[in-house]
Structures are given as structure tokens and as C-alpha cells.
Amino acid sequence: MGTKKSIVLSGYYGFNNIGDEAVLSSIITALRKQIPDVEITVLSNSPSQTKALYGVEAINRWGIKDIIAAIKKSDVVISGGGSLLQDVTSSKVIPYYLGVVKIAQFYKKPVVFYSQGVGPVAKGFGKLLVKQICNRVTHIFVREVGSKQLLESLGVNKAPITVAIDPVLGIEPKQALVSDIQASLPEGKKVGLYIRPWKNDEEMIEKVARIASYIESKGYALYFIPMYHKEDLSIAQEIANRVKGDVHVIEQEMTIDEVVAYTVQFDFILGMRLHSLIMAHAVEVPMIGLSYDPKVEGFLNEVGAPYCMPVASINEEKMKVYIDELIEQLETERERIHLVNQEKKQKVELPAVKVRELLG
């Protein structure tokens, strides 16, 4: 390793989920900006793909011997952004990510949580692990106030906790790609829809299809953007099939930069995936959020976005009011987002600055 400093980065990477890959890309960019010659090793579900995409070292996130070896050689361990500490999707999530942290603590390595979203944590075992292990973390950065409050309510009161912002808010579009996609699309007004499967699929599909039809009736072409291709494509196609008019599903699997470049083209978006909303905010595109998880509402509250509705109880008439209001004041909303970004983007690199300090 020579004199270069080394970081191990743990998170939900290598699963072809555009949101989590955008988090990884943004963290790597910030770290390289702050520590130009740093060596980064990512724990990935697809190490070869991660190496090729980001020019980092990568090891299998399930290979315990390789993980231990990488952590022993490292100078700092980062538990990356995203919703890593939650037990809604699986009761195995918290033990896995805090298990990596525990290994780092065993070898006395500094550990930084990089703008994480925390919760929900509903099970007693998860709560116990969070309290015991997180209190020994060197520095915890969370992406919104609600995560800080939840950690404190779980008894995390010894580790310093700083509210930063999701690293993806610092993402920037590649202008050449923006121009290429713009040239490939017909002129006119456009709206992006970023929908994921959820528990009340059939009811949600029907309601979102009617809402999409209402947007289309206002003169907007609709573009469905699958963020997690293997999950989102089929539901996008099913909703699109119920909408008549100018409707398109982007069926090819896209890179982060392609999704960002598409997002730039839209007058506004209807977003269910958290990072569709964060990307839109980063490139100053107004949004309406469909919240399936507290993290969606938490982000929209953090940036003062006025339009959000729970997926579990979509009120179509209220949504039409939201759409009408947003269309009427699109320019005002863009200006508001611009001002918010000027303030919030100052927080994007706070965790990377802390890592640089720890590396000396």
C-alpha cells in the first residue's frame, strides 16, 4: 500500500440499483476531491463491475476473510450512505452492516457513517445492536434531522452525530450526455415518472395510471424511468399500458449519468424512488413525491418540497390539485429549489472532510 491512505467503503453496492449506485459514485467523487490519492476498496455484490465503473478496488461483500483482510489494512472504514440501518426490508440488514462496523472496531479502525438515512428500526434486536455498536462509531453523519432524532431515541448519545445531506444532492449532469438525450427526444413538455413496486401494487397501479393520464391531458409527454431495472420495469410497463396518449417507457438499463441526463429534460417529475427525487432536486427539476417510506417524506421535508403523498392512501383529487398548483408555478418552484440547493450543497462534502481529517 506504500504511503497512500486506504479506505474501506461498505454499503448496498453492486446490485444495479441506480439510487444506491448514485450514492456510491457521489461518495467516491467527494473522497477523491478531498483526498486525491486515496485508495478505496468497496464491498460489492459485483466486484468486477464496481471496479470497472468507478476505478476502485472492490471485494465480494459476502467474503468474510477478504473483508477482514481489507479492514486490517485500511486507515478508515466508511459505512456508506443510503438506508443501511433499517429492518423493514429484512431483519438481516442491520446485523450485516453493523457486523462490518464491529470488525472495524475490533481492529481499532476509525469508523464514519457517511450521510446515512436511519430507520425504521422496529425490532428489539436491531435496536440493541444500533445502541451498542453506533455509540462507538467515530463520527455519524446522517442525511436528515429525523435520522438523528431516531438514533438519539435508541440511545445513541456517545458518538457525535452531524446532520449533513444525501451525497447524491451533489451530483452534476454530464453536459454532452444531456445534449445527446435532448437531441433524441421530440420537443415539447415532458414529465418523468419513477415508480417502484409496493405492497398495494394493484391499487397503486390503477391510481397512478389515472394520475398519469391527468398529467398527459395537460399536454405533457410521459416518460417512465426504471431506477432499479429488475423491479421497476414491469410496473412501469403495466402503468403505461393503462395510459393513452404520449407515453414512453425507457426500457434499456441505464447508467447513473443517463438517468440524471434524462431527469434534466423534464418539466417536473412524479417520484416514488427516493433518489429520483434527490437527483431531480440536484438538477433543479420540480417534483411531486409518492412516499412509501419515511425516508421519502424526510428528504422532502428537509428541502422544503411542498408536494408529497403517501402511497398507501393516494388521494387522486388532492393529487390533481398538487399537479395544477405545480404547473402554475413551475418557475417559482425552480427558483426555490435553486436557493435551497445553494444552502444544502454546502453540507454534501462534510463527511469527506471529516475522513480527510482522520487520515491526517
Q: Convert the pLDDT of each residue in 44-75 to its tens digit.
A: 999 999 999 999 999 999 999 999 999 999 99
Sorted by sequence, the CB contacts under 8 Å of residue 147 that are 6+ apart come out as: 116, 117, 118, 119, 163, 298
How many whole angstroms separate alpha carbon 270 and alpha carbon 266? 10
pLDDT, position 110: 98
Average of pLDDT values for 218-246? 96
**296-319 pLDDT per residue, tens:** 998 999 899 999 999 999 999 999
pLDDT, position 199: 84
pLDDT at 2 over 60: no
Pick from 198, 204, 201, 259: which is nearest to 227 by CA?
259
How many whole angstroms separate alpha carbon 123 and alpha carbon 125? 6
pLDDT, position 89: 80
Quick one: which H or E segment has residue 247? strand 247-249
pLDDT, position 1: 43
Domains of the chain in sequence order: 6-164 (3.40.50.11930), 175-344 (3.40.50.2000)
**Sign of the dihedral defined by the CA atoms of residues 236, 238, 239, 243, in that order:** positive
pLDDT, position 227: 95
pLDDT at 327 over 70: yes
pLDDT-derived band at 81 (thresholds 50, 70, 90) equals: confident
pLDDT at 101 over 60: yes
**19-40 pLDDT per residue, tens:** 999 999 999 999 999 999 999 9
Q: Strand runs (DSSP E) across the chain, as ranges?
A: 6-10, 39-44, 57-60, 76-79, 82-85, 111-118, 139-142, 161-163, 190-194, 221-224, 247-249, 268-271, 287-291, 308-310
Angle at the Cα of 289 (from 283 to 291), degrees rounded to 5?
Answer: 135
The residue length of the chain stands at: 360
Q: Extract the C-alpha cell encoding 150.
A: 431516531
Q: Extract the C-alpha cell encoding 4.
A: 497512500
How many whole angstroms separate alpha carbon 254 and alpha carbon 268? 20
Pick from 81, 144, 87, 146: which is nearest to 355 by CA?
81
Q: Extract the C-alpha cell encoding 171.
A: 451530483
Average of pLDDT values for 325-347? 95
How many whole angstroms separate alpha carbon 330 and alpha carbon 325? 9
Please, are residues 168 and 23 in contact by the beta-carbon 8 Å criterion? yes
Average of pLDDT values for 152-176? 95
How many whole angstroms separate alpha carbon 139 and alpha carbon 203? 43
- Of the two residues 188 and 83, the one the predictor is more confident about is 188
Query: What predicted TM-score, i.e. pTM, was given to this entire model?
Result: 0.91
